[in-house]
Structure 1
Amino acid sequence: MSAVNIDINCDVGEGFDNESQLFQYISSCNIACGGHAGNDATMQKVVLLAKRNKIKIGAHPSYPDRVNFGRITMEISPEALLQSIQEQVRSLNNILDNQGVVLHHIKAHGALYNDITKNATLATTFLSAIEQYKERSFVYAPYGSVIAAQAAKRGFHIKYEAFADRSYNPDLSLVSRSQPKALIQDCQKVLDHLLLMAKHSKVLTVDDTEVKMKADTYCIHGDSPSALQILMYLDQELPKHNIKIKR
């Protein structure tokens, strides 16, 4: 049986300064570009490190809300949000251009990520903001989401994303971080979660039902206290299940 190749991504450039450790074990990254975290200096630093480690680089725009780390839905006009997303992605892309690196993908952060999965107006605004990159970059989006459906209709290239360290509701929404079971921190449980998704295209939800899901890339949150421990464990265990991280 041939090996299954997967992509593992991490959100980085968010002020935790752990990229040099994480990049040994992942294949793509999502760099905060000023909305919830990050600035030109941090973007430059992480881009150079990702380039050195041959990690695919994506932009990680969010609501312009550094106070709440982009994790709360923000009251903002479509015009202001569109302009903010454009500025965030442009700031990272300018650094990539200077380094001769291609913007591989774009992935929204936090509350914006969750909101565009179900809100058609916000999804439209988000896609309009990144329209100029659609011929050469992917959108990371959840399977079955509003943003994925709209992106497909508008000709964007999509990679379906799943979360290896987050719990799911039966409707494939993420369990709220305010709930005790939202984060999966145990290494073996993360592995089991990932194996079901990668090998069987299903996810075990919080009510212990299996729901169909497709995924091309799997996220381990870089700001999680167990991120490095989880990634090291996956690096050790995934080959035993004939799964390789494609870099």
Structure 2
Amino acid sequence: MVVDLNADLGEGCGDDEAIIACISSANIACGWHAGDSRTQLQAIRAAIRHGVAIGAHPSFPDRAHFGRQTMHRTPELVYIDLLMQIGGLQAAVQGLGGQLKHVKPHGALYNQAAKDPALADAIAQAVKVCNPQLKLMGLAGSELIKAGQRAGLQVIEEVFADRAYLRDGTLAPRGTPGAVIADLTMAVQQTLQMIRHGRVTALDGEVIAIRADSICLHGDGEHALTFAKQLRRTLQTEGWEVRASD
């Protein structure tokens, strides 16, 4: 039993080095929603030291709202946005002796692409142009996963340990009561339900099917490091090997 454990890092918040020691994939901010050259450098070096798969974490150009505000950019602009961000991080990773393995959009870009086929296709095409060997990570069962498959990319279907779901398989919007799961025990239980049984209980109580190739935990949370350690320990105790997808 193998599962990938990923975190969004290089954002200038939290203890990236310690979290990287607990995970198997690191999604490193490209600087458009948070982070800078210094935080990218630190995260890349830490990931290389720990043998963690490195991914680009591009976003809308929205540092004011941490990339979490809905934006209406044309697919053409998003395509160029992604080429710039992925290409820049890819060069930095290669310059430090590593290899970029995957791409995972951030925040509002991620959530909008989960529902918008045109936006999802723009992202998938940008990934393919940068390197067709890159994997595309997106919300399990979403339009972004379908776009990656249409583009001939290897996809990674992602689930969230610390976020609640709606019955359509999308994430409950931040600000909705219960959208962020702060209770560690509840988050671990949800994770085990998803990877053991391929399903998750939505906010309204509906049980829905879900595929879990990779589990995300948020590196900017107040108790991110404690959560990362507990989640990895629990997975290993339950017999799961934590490593990035081949």
TM-score of the superposed pair, with normalisation by structure 1 = 0.94
Shift of 1:47: 0.4
Tell me what 1:71 maps to. Answer: 68
Tell me what 2:194 maps to. Answer: 197
Tell me what 2:58 maps to. Answer: 61
Q: Which runs of 5+ in 2 are unaligned?
A: none
Do 2:200 and 2:207's aligned partners in 1 also have CA atoms closer than 8 Å? Answer: yes
Do 1:134 and 1:157's aligned partners in 2 also have CA atoms closer than 8 Å? Answer: no
Give the alignment partner of residue 171 of structure 1, picking from 168, 173, 176.
168
SS in 1 for 2:54: strand
- The equivalences for 1:73-88 within 5 A come to 73-88=70-85
For 1:225, give the aligned amino acid: E
- Aligned partners of 2:151 and 2:78: how far apart in 1? 20
Tell me what 1:48 maps to. Answer: 45
- Aligned partners of 2:118 and 2:236: how far apart in 1? 42
Do 1:10 and 1:28's aligned partners in 2 also have CA atoms closer than 8 Å? Answer: yes
**Number of matched pairs:** 244
Give the alignment partner of residue 126 of structure 1, picking from 115, 123, 128.
123
Q: Which runs of 5+ in 1 are unaligned?
A: none
Do 2:125 and 2:151's aligned partners in 1 also have CA atoms closer than 8 Å? Answer: no
The reply to whether residue 239 of structure 1 matches residue 244 of structure 2 is no
Tell me what 2:26 maps to. Answer: 29
- Aligned partners of 1:240 and 1:79: how far apart in 2? 46
The reply to whether residue 186 of structure 1 matches residue 183 of structure 2 is yes
- Aligned partners of 2:142 and 2:72: how far apart in 1? 22
- Aligned partners of 2:241 and 2:186: how far apart in 1? 19
Of residues 72-81 and 211-220 in structure 1, the stretch that sits farther from structure 2 once superposed is 72-81
For 2:9, give the aligned amino acid: V
- Aligned partners of 2:159 and 2:130: how far apart in 1? 22
Shift of 1:40: 2.2
Q: CA deviation digits over 1:141-181, x for unaligned, max 9?
A: 12221111121122011011000110000101101111120
Shift of 1:63: 0.4
- Aligned partners of 1:77 and 1:138: how far apart in 2? 23
Tell me what 1:230 maps to. Answer: 227
The reply to whether residue 208 of structure 1 matches residue 205 of structure 2 is yes
Tell me what 2:10 maps to. Answer: 13
- The equivalences for 1:91-106 within 5 A come to 91-106=88-103
Shift of 1:183: 0.8
Shift of 1:116: 0.4
The reply to whether residue 152 of structure 1 matches residue 121 of structure 2 is no
- Aligned partners of 1:168 and 1:220: how far apart in 2? 15
- Aligned partners of 2:74 and 2:132: how far apart in 1? 27
TM-aligned CA distance change 1:235 to 1:78, over 3 Å: closer
For 1:235, give the aligned amino acid: R
Do 1:106 and 1:140's aligned partners in 2 also have CA atoms closer than 8 Å? Answer: yes
For 1:123, give the aligned amino acid: A
For 1:36, give the aligned amino acid: H
Moved over 3 A (4+): none
Do 1:83 and 1:129's aligned partners in 2 also have CA atoms closer than 8 Å? Answer: yes
Of residues 48-57 and 124-133 in structure 1, the stretch that sits farther from structure 2 once superposed is 124-133
- Aligned partners of 1:82 and 1:8: how far apart in 2? 27
SS in 1 for 2:100: coil
